[in-house]
Structure 1
């Protein structure tokens, strides 16, 4: 009598499907193909000009399988956006934790790495800084959350710089939010206008603005300061 138990479906492992892959493995493959297609099409054609059918066709995934994973077109935009943000945050954290490099240089290197990530493949920058803007209230909340997450990374390192004496002690939340906003607008400008600059030159512009903020911050008063005089105001020449 033959022992067929080990050959029965599910015995000793999961049921195998197409090309020997399990249903879960096939689902993951379809998900990654859809994300790749969404990144390519949203970044090239634009979100508004890309119907679900185009994403499915490009990914070679049926619409039935699409709706098994996403509620609709905006749902996949959220997923594409989240994946790009995750990659960028990994780049930011890796650059900022390079302990052999002085802190101020680490931040400058981080800005450069982030610019290269978004401009070496302009589709990434277009999705994060242009296509995801104004889509819906839900998407805007996600964008604000991303801004605050990136700003919080910057704020923590500004605090470290303050603790080491390179910056005055204050709350750096708002300057950090402003730095993220500046960065987004520089990327959008490069993508939509003829700046005549390379990605390397745009990275240099972003670093110059970062350094300008840092040098300017050396004159900051504490956020809750009640001082009447702003150290950046011109001197009162009427006083002899």
Structure 2
């Protein structure tokens, strides 16, 4: 064999080591398996429930071996965290796009954003079940993640409430706690729709969340700004 043949053969062997199944690299295969596992976790946790879904079921649906599963995740809760994070990231993307697009007033954009967020969780009920039901009470680490998500979403609402206050739509005050309360309210609305017979479609429930937000905005316009020194409201001023 000539030097050139040996050289060519060596490159072919080297390339074959770098390429895996169907011509994909090891990293590309790893990413594909990761995405299939996330999709399978979303489907099974959202349909069967987290507690009723063993790792083997996730691997079977994703067509991934348990060995490859443990190369990417530490266990069942680990993939729940990843599924939850993926859903929250998708919802945050919807929120950012909705808040920054269109020519509607700021109040209308915020209301439409809330409607879009709730609809995202209900249009595919598996999303809402994972975020608002299956992730609840799993562990201290999962609860910490849920609180962080609540505060992150509440911070978006708080910032836009301050912009509305600057525009004169809302009184000047600290909107951190009202924003947290709104996020909690929407979580409960989603859970209610998923577990009870509300008689409303997903789109109707999303509009209900929008109506509640607008009711809060209009109601807040009738109260004086709070600075911590105002006297408590009596029954005649409420």
Query: 2: distance between equivalents of 1:222 and 1:56?
Result: 55
Change beyond 3 A, Cα 1:191–1:178: same
Q: Which residue of 2 aligns with 1:132?
A: 135
Equivalent of 2:64 in 57, 61, 66: 61
Change beyond 3 A, Cα 1:227–1:55: same
Give the deviation of 1:235 after TM superposition: 5.0
Instruction: Write the deviation string for residues 187-208 of structure 1: whole angstroms up to 9, x where unpaired.
Output: 0000000000011211121111
Aligned residues: 233
Give the deviation of 1:99 after TM superposition: 4.6
Change beyond 3 A, Cα 1:10–1:193: same
Q: Which residue of 1 aligns with 2:123?
A: 120
Q: How does 1:130-209 map to 2 (within 5 A)?
A: 130-209=133-212
| Segment of structure 1 superposing worse, 117-126 or 204-213 | 204-213
Query: 1: distance between equivalents of 2:95 and 2:104?
Result: 14
Query: 1: distance between equivalents of 2:40 and 2:237?
Result: 58
Query: 2: distance between equivalents of 1:147 and 1:97?
Result: 21
Q: TM-score, normalised by structure 2?
A: 0.93
Change beyond 3 A, Cα 1:121–1:219: same
Does the 8 A contact of 2:172 with 2:226 survive in 1? Answer: no
Give the deviation of 1:91 after TM superposition: 0.3
Give the deviation of 1:221 after TM superposition: 4.1
Instruction: Write the deviation string for residues 163-198 of structure 1: whole angstroms up to 9, x where unpaired.
Output: 111011111100000000000000000000000001
Q: CA RMSD in A?
A: 1.7
Query: 2: distance between equivalents of 1:99 and 1:45?
Result: 39
Query: 1: distance between equivalents of 2:140 and 2:171?
Result: 37
Q: Which residue of 2 aligns with 1:233?
A: 235
Query: 2: distance between equivalents of 1:28 and 1:212?
Result: 45
Give the deviation of 1:212 after TM superposition: 1.4
Runs of 4+ in 1 over 2 A off after TM superposition: 5-8, 219-225
Give the deviation of 1:233 after TM superposition: 3.3
Q: Which residue of 1 aligns with 2:14?
A: 9
Query: 2: distance between equivalents of 1:34 and 1:94?
Result: 27
1:47 aligns with 2:40: no
Equivalent of 1:104 in 83, 104, 107: 107
Q: Which residue of 1 aligns with 2:79?
A: 76
Q: TM-score, normalised by structure 1?
A: 0.92
Higher helix share: 2
